[in-house]
Amino acid sequence: MSAADTASPAATPTTAAGRSWWRAPPPDGSSAAARLAWAGRDQLGELALWVALAGALAGATALLVATGVHFAPAAGHGARGGLAAGTLPLTWPPRSTPRTALAPALAVSALLAAGLLARRPAGRPAPAFGLLLGLSYLLTVAWWLALGAVSRPGERVSEALLEAGDRTPSDLLRTTSGQPPGPELLVWVLARVGLHGGLAVGLAFTALGALVVPLVALAVRSLCHEPAARRLLPVLVFAPWAPFAVASRDAVTAAVAAAALAVGVAGCERGRRAWWALGAGLLLGVAGLFSFPAMWLGVAVAAAYFVRRRPLLNVITGVGALLPLFALRLAGYSWPDGLARAGTGLFDHAALAWLVPDLLAVLLCCGPVLVRAARRIAMTPGWPFLVGATAAALFALLDGLASGGVVTSWLPLFPWLVVAALAPRPRPALPGDTSSAGAVPYGLVGAGAALAVVLAALLTA
């Protein structure tokens, strides 16, 4: 924790009973032990609140099932049985093998190393940001693969998707499944470079999907500042959604969408040319070919353009997003027709009842850090990311795309929901402060990593 994180305590809102909604920071001059104890109590409270919320949502889901609500996953979403008849792809009992210890050992070692690095001597320079991005990417790949070893054996890449490698692109574009053809086209490309079979394609999906961590950090550095991006890396690497990202087509979608936001947000910095906005649009269009709601993450880019007073870039980005869709339209695939086949409408599958298990899935996948992020939404300059993720989630809900399988289909949204967890508290006194960021909540991150191991052990094949 830096001095900027604990300096200048501010008054906080109070309830009618006269107690603070949250505890005020320790006073200036307090010892490191006192600050550490305060931070520990704060995280315990947030963890307890997360447990209470998860328990309430799980109980509400069970109650809905007991009253006759049938949560059958929508066709094509890939949810495979488990808790509440399809809301989460989990089963019982958990799988436990000698390989189960690999993931916890990796998490403990990495978090201890990160904590020791944060307590380096004052005169020792911090590692280069690029080096941290590279290490975080390698650690993400290792963490995901370790969680894959914990999971139940079985092919994570479906046979139907693998068959795309033996078909022609024109045949893939004539799909009537209601799903965009991006993953199938990617498998076809991988087959052309010699990657065949579930293991090879799964490893390729894992390596590509893990790029989401450094890409999100790049976007956060641009819109927030570098300290926040540095401290966000452990949160992203050990997030509980990791078991669902291993060998997942949706993890690739998350990486493409994160690349679009990183290019768009960095591209609207002072002095950048309009080519960046065009590149962001092209990437958004490609993301839309992997997932229909992913394009709505572009709302975050639009908000960043307005924050930096460059609203005309929205036109360039919008044109860029349409180019991949137009190109595939010439090749025989209509994106609007595919969306019409995929969407079922707000009330067709008791979508209002789906809100409960969907919220439970989001709470589990984002972990206890989500509570801290929710408490600090008003303090983060990264609010456009939250706006974009919310817009994409609302689009999925309103169009009936969230009726099952959100643990995977919403993977592109989860990283942006926890950005606010690194917002400083209290808010910096000066606008545009680029030196202070919230301390890394190692207790919450560790709890999230433990949750990831448990989810991996309960994950169906």
Q: How confident is the model at residue 23 (pLDDT cuts 50, 70, 90)?
A: very low
Indicate if the pLDDT at residue 44 is higher than 60: yes
Dist CA 118 CA 39 (whole Å): 15
Output the pLDDT for position 15.
Answer: 33
Dist CA 390 CA 386 (whole Å): 6
Q: What is the pLDDT of residues 312-323, one digit of tens each?
A: 999 999 999 999
Q: How confident is the model at residue 432 (pLDDT cuts 50, 70, 90)?
A: low
Indicate if the pLDDT at residue 96 is higher than 50: yes
Dist CA 108 CA 265 (whole Å): 33
Q: How confident is the model at residue 41 (pLDDT cuts 50, 70, 90)?
A: confident
Output the pLDDT for position 84.
Answer: 41
Look at residues 271, 263, 166 and name the one whose alpha carbon lies nearest to residue 211: 263
Output the pLDDT for position 71.
Answer: 64
Contact 344, 403 (CB under 8 A): yes
Q: Residue 139: is it exposed, middle or buried by C-beta count within 10 angstroms (0-12/13-18/19+)? A: buried
Dist CA 124 CA 8 (whole Å): 25
CA angle at 338 for the pair 337 and 342, rounded to the nearest 5°? 120
Tell me the one-letter amino acid at 459. Answer: L
Dist CA 252 CA 259 (whole Å): 11
Q: What is the pLDDT of residues 368-424, one digit of tens each?
A: 999 999 999 988 889 999 999 999 998 888 877 776 678 888 999 999 999 999 988
Among the listed ranges 49-58, 170-179, 429-438, which one has the minimum average pLDDT value? Answer: 429-438
First to last CA, the chain: 41
Contact 297, 413 (CB under 8 A): yes
Dist CA 195 CA 190 (whole Å): 5
Gyration radius from the chain CA atoms: 22
3-state secondary structure 59-127: HHHHHHHHCCCCCCCCCCCCCCCCECCCCECECCCCCCCHHHHHHHHHHHHHHHHHHHHHCCCCCCCCC
Return the structure tokens found at 428. Answer: 């910096």
Beta bridge partners of 88: 83
Mean pLDDT to the nearest integer, 62-68: 80
Query: How many helices and strands in the chain, by DSSP H and E?
Result: 22, 0
Look at residues 214, 251, 26 and name the one whose alpha carbon lies nearest to residue 136: 214
Contact 288, 295 (CB under 8 A): yes
Q: What is the pLDDT of residues 240-294, one digit of tens each?
A: 999 999 999 999 999 999 999 999 999 999 888 899 999 999 999 999 999 999 9
Tell me the one-letter amino acid at 115. Answer: G
- Sequence-ordered list of residues with C-beta below 8 angstroms from that of 331, at least 6 positions apart, any chain: 169, 170, 173
Beta bridge partners of 90: 459
